[in-house]
Structure 1
Amino acid sequence: MAQKLSGYHRALDLFEGVAGGVTRDGWDRPSPCAGWTARDVAGHVIGGQYLVRAMATGTAKPDVARDPARYCAGDAMLEWRTARKECAAALTPDALRRHVPFAGLGDLPLGDFLGGYLLEPLIHTWDLARATGQPARLDPDLVHHAFATAHMVAAHFRASGRLGPPLPAPPGADEQTRLLAFLGRRAGA
């Protein structure tokens, strides 16, 4: 199971690195996510840790899209580290075998779910980097795996209004640019 989670943990590490590079005044900058600031993006990813913890423990799932900044109203890095630590503690072997719903595609073990869930912190790492003027180059291996997941879940998220239409990628674009376009983001914007 640890091997299956390595990509998920690498995506969280990447997010943490970018979040750690946000300046004090950077949290209020607009992000590529319409209507969200950098703090909202970070709060959404932090809330995602509480969502994963809820799936691991079988408790009620929080709504991480509504008012996401509430998850990091104070010190965003402290809130991130707390959420990540609490989530990690909940990812026991039994929890990783617990079946959870996967984007309208049925149920699968939480450990397998997390292999696809890396798309969420990965793409929001890019959003946070763009919002705060940091390098936005993502791990190519994670991008490749996230793109496969994006193809599986996009229809469900577009139908529910949580993902906009894809944009055309420039000819000859690399995989990161194609993933971003598929998710409605412009790499150069």
Structure 2
Amino acid sequence: MVTVSLLQGDITSQAVDAIVNAANSSLLGGGGVDGAIHRAGGPEILAACRRLRAGALPDGLPTGGAVATTAGRLAARHVIHVVGPVHAPGQDRSHLLRSCYTQALAVADEIGARTVALPAVSAGAYGWPARDAADIALTTVLTAPTSVKEARFVLFDEAMLRVFTEALGALQPR
């Protein structure tokens, strides 16, 4: 069973087997977590993403999908890129957000990763409401079949850490 931990910090500094990147479908870098991972990891990550685009993923990574690359200069060994859904009021796209986490864990299993650092996928620029994003992320990771031993949610600010802490508390028996 996976152990979930929560911390506020910089996901790029985590010494884990794999870091999950909230990427855009192009895989060619962007803002937020994606930009930070590409900057800190160096050109090796972008080169690996370009190879994916030139081969297996010519149209990019679909929303809800996951794929692994090298982690370049990061302390992690791999980066698992996922494409979260943009929140759309009036449309239930939660299955796509759940898929990001289940697919990331499946890829982690494929590459032998036992420790994984994850961001709050879609809860930033993609506008997903924080508590709903936390509930989906935590429930999915805690119930997904995986060989990952530690899922470490690394949250950018104190407010998001508080939301995830409250959500995790609500999921755990008293």
**TM-score scaled by length of structure 1:** 0.28
Higher strand share: 2
**TM-score scaled by length of structure 2:** 0.30
Larger radius of gyration: 1
